[in-house]
Amino acid sequence: MTAAKTRARSGGRGRPSKATGLDLKETILDSAEGLFARHGFHGVTTRQVASEAGVDTALIHYYFGAKRELFDAVFLRRADILNQARSVSMNAYVETFGARMTVEGVITAFIDPLLRISQEGGGGWKSYFALVAQVNNTPAWGGETMARFFDPVVHQLVDTLKIVRPDAEYRDLYWCYQFLTGSMMLALSETGRIDTLSEGVCHSSDLEAVRARLFAYCAAGFEAVVARSGKT
């Protein structure tokens, strides 16, 4: 519905207004992304996607094949952008600070691109992060899906942290990463839970508040775990 209106409105007087081909493909992905993010894979029907995109059901299968392939296409579309942004951010940090790197700096370089993209990248990204958070907590097939798309950049984080704290054990690094990703994904998915929980004091849409706390939180936690492990 929404997308259909937008599409019809988009062409002003000059150009032919109807989206076609690749544009329409993109429209379908947008609708699917929003719906999957809100209701999960099984909570969405191809009919709903088609309806919101203002498109016939058969067209979805024409472009993407089965429903699951549509889901993968949604997941894949932004994964590359995300991975590249994080990789660039971390490389830049390493090259700029070299031997003066800190744990908090590395973690910031890892997380901040996501916050910035969520803030500046438009509405689609918020849906996407909610989707990833949901997949991250899906036991059945979430683990492999996450691994398939995001493992390399995580290994880059772990390796960089290992440079900053050479004495740290990999066991600790991986566990700390899991704690970190749990916090980060929940914050990025903006479920609204903190709004009601805090009775209006905090807002899950306030990513600036997240930025002001999450980096320090994770870094301190990391240092504490490493220190405790070394002590034992």
Partner DNA sequence: GCCTTTTTTCACCAGGTGGTGAAAAGTGTA
Partner DNA sequence: TACACTTTTCACCACCTGGTGAAAAAAGGC
Q: Which of 55, 130, 153, 161 binds a second copy (CB under 8 A)?
A: 130
**Please, which residue, 62 or 141, has the CB nearer to a second copy?**
141
Residue count, binding to a second copy (CB under 8 A): 68
Residue count, binding to DNA (CB under 7 A): 22
Q: Is 70 in the site for a second copy (CB under 8 A)?
A: no
Q: Is 57 in the site for a second copy (CB under 8 A)?
A: no
Q: Which long-range contacts (CB under 8 A, 24 or more apart) does 222-230 make?
A: 222/103, 222/107, 222/161, 222/176, 222/180, 223/103, 225/172, 225/175, 225/176, 226/165, 226/167, 226/168, 226/172, 226/176, 229/168, 229/169, 229/171, 229/172, 230/167, 230/168
CB 43, min distance to DNA, A: 9
State the angle between helix axes of 57-64 and 22-39 in degrees (0 to 180), rounded to the nearest 10.
100
Between CA 198 and CA 62 the distance in angstroms is 47
**Please, which residue, 57 or 205, has the CB nearer to DNA?**
57
CB 70 within 8 A of CB 26: no
3 binds, among a second copy, DNA, none (CB under 5 to 8 A by kind): none
Between CA 137 and CA 140 the distance in angstroms is 9
Q: Is 40 in the site for DNA (CB under 7 A)?
A: no
Q: Which of 11, 43, 122, 123 binds a second copy (CB under 8 A)?
A: 43
Sites of contact with a second copy (CB under 8 A): 37-43, 130, 133-134, 136-140, 142-144, 146-147, 151, 154, 170-172, 174-187, 189-198, 201-202, 209-210, 212-214, 216-225, 228-229
